[in-house]
Structure 1
């Protein structure tokens, strides 16, 4: 059968011959995966590597191409992936999974013997594909200008990829798709209806209304198993039910994609069936509208799987599967109105994934992320967290260069965490590493990892049988080349992989833990490990504040001290305790955020105590006294004239409290801090010249005509004094302060200190209102002077003797 891609194969070959690069856009079903490598064989010197995002797609593509040539897999066409390979000296086309390419490049930067690298299904934008393309492009630019690069995609915008590859020629295949009718729900699915029940009902409806086999998209294995149980015994007699997900063995996967000899089939699949694979006879697609994605939280250092609505691009990709062989029908588990709320595209993995392996690959390559041709840059914070973890594992130096240990980890086909555990703990850690790489085989059995390890070594009937077999095979593969070392407990081995997830139980009845990396975690109260003081957490639900522990193992303090002796240290801690309202000085033995021992620090330096007391000031605020407020008000008045003086507002003074440090005088408690007089400390903020200017222009006191010093209050709208009226006799010019001569607000009082007049112009007062005051006061205070013209009278505080 002639495939649509064959119409543009000559264009692809010409682009590779002329430019050494090409971007091919071809819709699903066009035949690009199996036809393009074969078409390029005569034009390429050396081997062709083609990257596939999934193991099943890689094997299926290799088998299809080998069948086209009439050969078994392993001759002209072969494949290579983790734990499986079929290649020979005659292999010209090698289909590999994406992680394999990075290791090939790191071990042989010249890619000797390879003439072309093809990136298939690049629209999926996996982290390995992005990094692989960046490394291949750098190899081509620096070492191998003859190396051809082909990027193939179904839905990705070709423009940015072409620009990334120096304006690579873009070849577009129109493809061939049969008409697909799309049917939506009339009303939204009730929130009380389980997804699996709604999907099962829609599948039965679809089989009743349309012909052909059905491909049903579900987010994960759990939903597939539950939907399978709901459909069992309810399907038409001519239908066979087939699950399809990544963790299945290859034989079961092959059965799902193979054509039915009779009748039709219903394939319950994850996103593994969105691209690359052609499942024969499918004319019905049922889309549950959900996708499961890994989300990495750089703050907690933990990944979690989240189930989200599909994007429009994913929904369209799934819909197209119904039109591969004939006209078909797509049944969507949402209404047409709900479709507008879908995101355009799924998130790019480099933006959401754990970047630890990526950071190690960059360090091994000897390049920074901004030096490579990455279509999307990684998040700076997530990359910094990844590098910090690699430093703690000894894979990177503190300066960010790869160590010998890091090179050894990069050579292992595991996450750097597990690689570190294997390299230190040796062969005994292989089952644990394999177990951690597999989904939980004892769901609902609590968090204890030892239960799961025992299941691996026994025939536990409660465990997932297929999962157990995969773990055993992976452990056997990982053991190769590993040394036998001194026995370690499960918790000790786990701590090697997760030094940032060692948990110390908090005080209290609930099993809540502080992790060495600083985050929180909690166990169910009924969990078998709930009574443990120390645990190591392998898996959680990923909650950013306090994650729920799903898998863990106990560890002893002695084991922690043995494994991390160099990272455990006594830390003197002098801090303000808000709860106790005082400075607390202690010495704490810490490992990360864990406090293993805590003792009082009786001889804490005074400077440290003072620093901690500043935190107390930050809690309770500045202890303003009357004299301090008056001084600050005087300085504020000077600032209002435009002269350079420090800002003595609360906000400015609290922003940097170091000025107060020398004046704390050993104050350790809240009461002592509140009793402080900060006037002298405020004086210290002025230099000698500013002090002299302040004293001259804005004095703290006013000297009355009698020579008496009266405090000036600067806290109000205008500077203010209060004096006896008689004390101001003889005043012909109103007192003022400041370089701009701001008049004082003067409150004149009676001999009994009762306010008589508030004025800002005493000479005018003498001439006007004083007459009425005199009439009123001379009879009330006859022994005190009340001259007719106070401007020429002598100031006095004396009264006439009695009887005069």
Structure 2
């Protein structure tokens, strides 16, 4: 192992850790950091016989690292080197190096924050920035700073692609040690530009066949998920047509370890492997014989949507750092080749690093752990990226709904129920379901349901979203659609979790524990926000207790159910309906019998659009869903007024009985207010614009709505008198003075001013203005009227706000035209000296 690059920096690393409580190691893929660093630390003096905890991001990586370390020591796993992962552990009293997954470290910290007997915690592949790793580091720093005096706890953060300076600053300027150079060079071949929504499988298969022809050694193919792996495997089997020299092996997290081991180990003599893997193969694994990587450039990541409260899987482009990690797999054993199925230009456009999980995860588990740790303000801990406030608050709200948190004067506090949940190694929703299930004497069913939800689908080709079909497999696994590996893991999980429940009492056992209705009830306890009610008597759409909408995208037996408890949803907040992937029929009376606190009462007054009338009800609700309703005989007047004001807002201000004269009155006030604001910045004239009226309905309209029960009654409102009350004295008198409804022209005609235009306009026959030099002005001379000059037939011939300019200018041309069309009318050469007239010619 002395030829591995990290060997050269081991003395520097050991010296750094001797004099500093923390260090950062940056080493490229294949450098040997996972294998050599823990062994190099075993015998250092400051460790004083304490344990080394090595964190790995995945179970497969943890187990493989433990086996490799033990093999280098010539020992079986469980002696000097052991591991702890979910559902499996191999440790003994002699174990000095424990390889654990990040969730296991959190359990250890919560059990005893001092981590007694542990000398150093090594965070491997920290660049993946999992939520558990970020939280684990934050908690370890607190342990290091406040809880360990006699035997200081050391921390080492390792990664191939990491902003080492940022981590160093987080750890009080910890020394950064860098191992230069990958062990063997990798030639990168770029492909044609990748296009969104293109099917990647044909191109992957074509590239793999090309690599098998052009290169020697085994091939590692990176694909986003298991579905793509199965499709590529099927297509490659056809293309290879039974070739005996090529062995196809899948590699993803849900496979049993025996199948995973087959993918990791060297190919049998005379054969080459094609390993079809998810991102599980990016880090901490040396897959024997690999010298060619085919990278589809995609990954499938879980992302939490705070608006919908749902976590969905999204297929995304990998980051440049992840692409480097993947390419590095080809250079671990000899010079290699990497085929990237995107262009070099697209590669430069990729994000530098993947988004940290803490920025896109469901933070309910984090909120529970922080409360258990006693953290009120997240700034009490050190973070590379602090938890987003909205997602953290949503997590706390969920925990409060589950009865795990309560808000007091001292902040968020764990309840006794919450303390119980922290001792169960699963999402708080599922932990709550287990505890409640045990209380009801349904512990076995709750454990099975939790395992079904936690594992991937137990049915390979699920034709139904009904979770009860999955639960039935525990007792009767027969059927071609059952995924035996997933079922085996689910059974093991359920057995383990059921054992944890034995210390909890059964206080309220149900009488009919074998009834299938309890499946939906237990799931509703875990997902109260996803209780769903069907819309209408038939159809596929449901409304959720959280106010969102969901639907079956394909025919399903469950769509005949009026109520559902939904565990798995897909989609984004921007979509109208989320897709229902897994659910169970819900017996609401049975649910309320065991959890009456889910029901709330509300008196509502709403507008029935069908009957165009007010509907007053007392409703019993589960979240936003109405369970039962009854008509209310008496309606609170203020509640009625608020409901009717909401009707006006939804229908618009024109629902009220406006008349043309009233609109003109509104516009006159608006004009005077606008002139004041432009001149001096304020005005005594009230703001009566439509939007302002809508915003203040409760102030001016609500007192007049007591007799309104139907939409037609709005027409009976005396709107003019109501609005006139908004104009204090002496403004009504000033309104007539400053913004009169009519203007008297030289002939004596009173002509209506139109205030609906800006500026207000006066439409008058041109002949009635002969002899006038001044443009009419209102608002004490501040506003000139816009003159619409009309022909004898009342047709517009000119528009102006400068009457004298019109007489001296374009009147001559207008006169020619009018004289030709109206020869019997009087068209003087000098209109300023002419007599105004309403007739064809002035009276003599």
Same fold (TM over 0.5): yes
Residue matched to 1:446: 464
Residue matched to 1:173: 179
**What is the aligned counterpart of 1:128 among 121, 125, 132?**
132
Residue matched to 1:676: 717
Residue matched to 1:100: 104
Distance in structure 2 (CA, Å) of the matches to 1:494 and 1:153: 40
**What is the aligned counterpart of 2:73 among 55, 64, 69?**
69
- Cα deviation, 1:674-709, whole Å, max 9, x if unaligned, reads 4433333334434557678768877889999xxxx9
Residue matched to 1:611: 642
Residue matched to 1:728: none
How far 1:256 sits from its partner (Å)?
2.0
Q: Secondary structure at the match of 2:77?
A: coil
Which runs of 5 or more structure 2 residues have no equivalent in the other structure? 765-773, 789-799, 804-830
Q: Secondary structure at the match of 2:582?
A: strand
Distance in structure 2 (CA, Å) of the matches to 1:129 and 1:660: 58
Residue matched to 1:481: 500
Residue matched to 1:657: 697
Residue matched to 1:423: 435
Residue matched to 1:109: 113
Residue matched to 2:47: 44
How far 1:282 sits from its partner (Å)?
1.3
Between 538-547 and 145-154, the greater mean CA deviation after superposition:
538-547
CA contact (8 A) 1:606 1:666 kept: no
Distance in structure 1 (CA, Å) of the matches to 2:612 and 2:148: 68
CA contact (8 A) 2:244 2:271 kept: no
Residue matched to 1:214: 219
Q: Secondary structure at the match of 2:558?
A: coil
How far 1:480 sits from its partner (Å)?
0.7
CA contact (8 A) 1:609 1:668 kept: no
**What is the aligned counterpart of 2:404 among 381, 389, 395?**
395
Alignment of 1:278-677 (within 5 A): 278-336=286-344, 338-365=346-373, 366-398=375-407, 400-426=412-438, 427-428=443-444, 429-442=446-459, 443-462=461-480, 463-482=482-501, 485-486=509-510, 487=513, 489-507=518-536, 509-523=538-552, 526-543=555-572, 544-578=575-609, 580-618=611-649, 619-622=651-654, 623=656, 624-626=658-660, 628-639=662-673, 640-641=675-676, 642=679, 644=683, 645-658=685-698, 659-677=700-718
Between 634-643 and 292-301, the greater mean CA deviation after superposition:
634-643
How far 1:526 sits from its partner (Å)?
3.3
Between 119-128 and 381-390, the greater mean CA deviation after superposition:
381-390
Distance in structure 2 (CA, Å) of the matches to 1:189 and 1:717: 56
Residue matched to 2:816: none
Distance in structure 2 (CA, Å) of the matches to 1:454 and 1:355: 32
- Cα deviation, 1:174-200, whole Å, max 9, x if unaligned, reads 144212222334x56899985334333
Q: Secondary structure at the match of 2:701?
A: helix
Q: Secondary structure at the match of 2:307?
A: coil
**Compared CA separation, residues 396 and 688, structure 1 to 2 (3 A):** farther
Distance in structure 2 (CA, Å) of the matches to 1:60 and 1:398: 44
CA contact (8 A) 1:582 1:616 kept: no
CA contact (8 A) 1:567 1:591 kept: yes
Which runs of 5 or more structure 1 residues have no equivalent in the other structure? 724-732, 748-757, 780-804
Alignment of 1:179-328 (within 5 A): 179-185=185-191, 187=192, 194-232=199-237, 234=241, 236-260=243-267, 262-266=269-273, 267-328=275-336
**Compared CA separation, residues 294 and 742, structure 1 to 2 (3 A):** closer
How far 1:74 sits from its partner (Å)?
2.6
CA contact (8 A) 2:564 2:584 kept: yes
**Compared CA separation, residues 478 and 635, structure 1 to 2 (3 A):** same
How far 1:520 sits from its partner (Å)?
1.4
How far 1:550 sits from its partner (Å)?
1.9
Q: Secondary structure at the match of 1:480?
A: helix
CA contact (8 A) 1:24 1:150 kept: yes
CA contact (8 A) 2:123 2:133 kept: yes
Q: Secondary structure at the match of 1:38?
A: helix
How far 1:740 sits from its partner (Å)?
6.0
How far 1:128 sits from its partner (Å)?
0.6
Distance in structure 2 (CA, Å) of the matches to 1:553 and 1:475: 19
How far 1:322 sits from its partner (Å)?
0.9
Residue matched to 2:821: none
**Compared CA separation, residues 691 and 49, structure 1 to 2 (3 A):** farther
- Cα deviation, 1:760-804, whole Å, max 9, x if unaligned, reads 99xxxx99655767996768xxxxxxxxxxxxxxxxxxxxxxxxx
**Compared CA separation, residues 646 and 321, structure 1 to 2 (3 A):** same
Residue matched to 2:813: none
**Compared CA separation, residues 37 and 670, structure 1 to 2 (3 A):** same
Q: Secondary structure at the match of 1:456?
A: coil
CA contact (8 A) 1:29 1:175 kept: no
How far 1:668 sits from its partner (Å)?
3.5
Q: Secondary structure at the match of 1:603?
A: coil
- Cα deviation, 1:559-617, whole Å, max 9, x if unaligned, reads 23224422312322223345554433333221112111233334222222221221222
**What is the aligned counterpart of 2:162 among 150, 153, 156?**
156
Between 167-176 and 767-776, the greater mean CA deviation after superposition:
767-776
**What is the aligned counterpart of 2:64 among 60, 63, 75?**
60
**Compared CA separation, residues 702 and 234, structure 1 to 2 (3 A):** closer
How far 1:168 sits from its partner (Å)?
1.6
Residue matched to 1:35: 36
CA contact (8 A) 1:78 1:94 kept: yes
CA contact (8 A) 1:4 1:30 kept: yes
Distance in structure 2 (CA, Å) of the matches to 1:36 and 1:404: 42
Distance in structure 1 (CA, Å) of the matches to 2:288 and 2:540: 52
How far 1:209 sits from its partner (Å)?
1.5
Distance in structure 1 (CA, Å) of the matches to 2:777 and 2:190: 85
How far 1:125 sits from its partner (Å)?
0.7
CA contact (8 A) 2:5 2:183 kept: no
- Cα deviation, 1:389-419, whole Å, max 9, x if unaligned, reads 1111111114543222112112211111110
**Compared CA separation, residues 189 and 628, structure 1 to 2 (3 A):** closer
Between 540-549 and 17-26, the greater mean CA deviation after superposition:
540-549
**Compared CA separation, residues 220 and 743, structure 1 to 2 (3 A):** closer
- Cα deviation, 1:289-347, whole Å, max 9, x if unaligned, reads 22111122222222222223333222221111111111122223344455445433322
Distance in structure 1 (CA, Å) of the matches to 2:583 and 2:782: 76
How far 1:648 sits from its partner (Å)?
1.8
- Cα deviation, 1:125-154, whole Å, max 9, x if unaligned, reads 111111111121223233336321111111
How far 1:435 sits from its partner (Å)?
1.2
Residue matched to 1:786: none
How far 1:122 sits from its partner (Å)?
0.4
